[in-house]
Every structure is written in C-alpha cells, then in structure tokens.
A = this chain, B = another copy of it.
Amino acid sequence: MKKNILVIPGDGIGPEVTTWGKAALEKIAEIFGHEFNFEEALMGHAAIEVTGEPLPDETLEKARQSDAILFGAIGHAKYDNDPSLKVRPEQGLLKIRKELGLFANLRPILLFDELLQASSIKPEILRGTDILFFRELTGDVYFGEKTRSEDRNTASDLMIYHRYEVERIAHKAYQAAQQRNKRLCSVDKANVLESSRLWRETVQEIAKQYPDVETEHMFIDNAAMQLIKNPKKFDVVLTANLFGDILTDEASQIAGSMGMLASASVGESTGFFEPIHGSAHDIAGKDLANPLASILSAALMLEIGFGLKEEAKLLVDTIDQVLKEGFRTHDIADQSTNRFKVLGTAEMGKLVLK
C-alpha cells in the first residue's frame, strides 16, 4: 500500500512524542512492505513563530494532498496567560478541522489491563470498560459567531447546530454501535438548551433507522457523573463538540492516563490522528512525556485511515507487551511500588519499536 502522510508535530511535547508515532509507522511499513511517504508541516505556536499564522496556507495545502495526518499537540502558556492576544495557536487546530471537514472525532477508551492500577478509579469499577466516543468536531460553540463589545465588557459565543450536522455524525455513531455492543448514549442538555433539543430530536429520528441499537439520552451533567460511577454501562457515546471535549478528557482517567489515548478525526476526505493529551508545556523537552498515545494515534491511522487492521493490532499488542513487562513512563507509573521500570520518552519509544 502506498500512502502520503503529513506529520504536524505542533507545540510543547508534540514534537517529542510525534517522533515515535512516525517511527512506528516507518517500522510497520518496513515489516509489511508498505510505502509511506512523509512530509512535515507547522501549526500552532510553532507556526506563529515562523510565519505569524497558526495555520499557514502551505500546511493546509499539504494536508489536503495527504492521505492521513499525524498530529502532536497545540498550545502555549504565553497565550493562556494573556487572553487578549488576537492570534492564538488553537485557531490553527480549529481551522484545519473545519477546512478538511473533519466532523467526526472518534475517541476510543482503550483499557490496558496492566494499567488498571494507574487510574484513580477502583479497578473493579473499571474492568471491562470499552467506550467509543463520537464527538462532533466542526460545529457548536467552537465555531459559532464570537463577539466582544466595544467597551470590552461583554463577550459572547454562539452555540449553534444545524440538523444535517447532527445527522451525519449520528449515522456514523449508530453504524459503529451496530458493529459493537449495540448501545448508544446521546449526551446533551436538552432540558435547558435549544441546540440540545434539536440534537435530541434529530438523534431520536435517526434512531428509528437503527432499530437493532438501543438508544439512551442523557444530560451532560448526569453523564459526567455516570462516567466515573459506572463506566461499563457505556458502549458508544455520541455528543456535541463542547460536551465531547469535556467528557473525553474526563474519560481519560479511566484509561489510567491521558498519555494512553488517541483520537481519529474523519469526515469528508483525509483523516487526522492525534493523542488526546495537550501540549503540556510544563514537561516539554524534559524527556518525561508518554509517547504511547502518539504510537496509538499511528495505530488508529492504520486501522481507521487505511483499513490495515493487522498492522494496527501489531502496534497495540506490542504496547500491551511492553506494559506487561513492567515498563512505564512517569505518568502511568505507580510511585508507591518499585515494581515498575520507569522510562523516559525516547527509551519507551525505542523499546516499542524493538
């Protein structure tokens, strides 16, 4: 198989983890005889520093030409501390999602048995959890009109949904549920928000086309609670952009660490694969980051982007093996025992490749 892959390392720990996601893809190509051609491009703070813009045209052009994109992370303390800055790294990520039509963000909560102990949640609550989130990615309050009054004392963001936006992601989520445990939970705030009432109505309609899938509707506040109270009850979770952002980060605690979760954004053409963790500038460059989410992003690219199931499985199994052997990065090492061999980013990356 011949594929063009664009690598966008981004900010913070992005570059150091993406190195290993890319290396994993190279290794897979070598083993299975595929031809993966790599290009690199800038986005976020890294791009602002060089070009003044968070998403340079050149990056967008390369992205459009690619079969898949491996992304690192975005964001920088400078902007977080100064809300008045006009040009911001995250605008690059939002723009590329919108421009490439990446409306469906898939976030599987993959539970490595070996990491059950690393979670703050009790192992008996977690065991058996297997959730696939479908987060809508190109609508909602993320993309609605923003205003700031002239006196700067009033600010607003429009939370808005169109029926077709809900329909297209609902279909994807239901199709996935059919392949899994045939349960779908749609999360909204329909008791308060009009956009959520449109969401719920639309999902109720689409549900009729998938009579083999059991549908539940849940309010976001309740979902945030149920997710840690009883994560096993969820199979596919379908939700809007903002609620999905919150719920999936929360769910990362289920997997023991954000450092272990990857996401796939798909839609109209190319796919976009990234760790769900952020740029973590506080540990950037210190060889402390966990490269496994980037390697798992590569696995998602192989599976969802290219349909290469066997190749993806090899990566996941290898990570499982490495964890079984007791190797950990800092974020997933239980500090209270010395059963684990704690590795830096690069050592862990090398080990998986070997």
Residues of A bordering B, CB below 8 Å:
75, 79-80, 83-84, 88, 90, 94, 120-122, 125, 141-142, 144, 146-148, 152-164, 189-198, 200-201, 204, 217, 220-222, 224-225, 227-230, 242, 245-250, 252-253, 258, 278
Contact = CB atoms under 8 A, between A and B. Distances in A.
A191 B122 contact: no
B148 A156 contact: no
A194 B147 contact: yes
Question: Which residue, of A122, A157, A222, A227, has the highest number of chain B Cβ atoms within 10 A?
Answer: A157
A159 B156 contact: yes
Given A191-B90, A224-B246, A225-B252, A201 B157 contact: no
Given A148-B194, A156-B160, A225-B249, 9 more contacts: A83-B198, A121-B121, A144-B156, A155-B195, A158-B158, A189-B242, A222-B278, A224-B224, A228-B228
Contact of A195 (B75, B157, B222): B157
A221 B197 contact: no
Contact of A192 (B142, B152, B189, B201): B142
Contacts of A158: 156-159
Contacts of A193: 141, 146, 157
Contacts of A221: 245-246, 248-250
Nearest to A75: B191
B160 A94 contact: no
B247 A224 contact: yes
A229 B332 CA distance: 12
A193 B249 CA distance: 18
Given A142-B192, A158-B158, A224 B249 contact: yes
A148 B198 contact: yes
Nearest to A204: B83
B249 A120 contact: no
Contacts of A94: 192
Given A221-B246, A224-B250, A229-B253, A155 B160 contact: yes
Contacts of A200: 83
Question: Which residue, of A195, A200, A227, A230, has the highest number of chain B Cβ atoms within 10 A?
Answer: A195
Contacts of A191: 75, 79-80, 88, 90
Question: Which residue, of A247, A250, A252, has the highest number of chain B Cβ atoms within 10 A?
Answer: A250
A195 to B, nearest CB: 5
A224 B191 CA distance: 21
A129 to B, nearest CB: 11
19 contacts: A75-B191, A80-B191, A80-B217, A83-B196, A83-B200, A90-B192, A94-B192, A120-B125, A141-B141, A141-B192, A148-B198, A152-B198, A153-B162, A155-B195, A155-B198, A157-B160, A221-B250, A224-B250, A246-B246
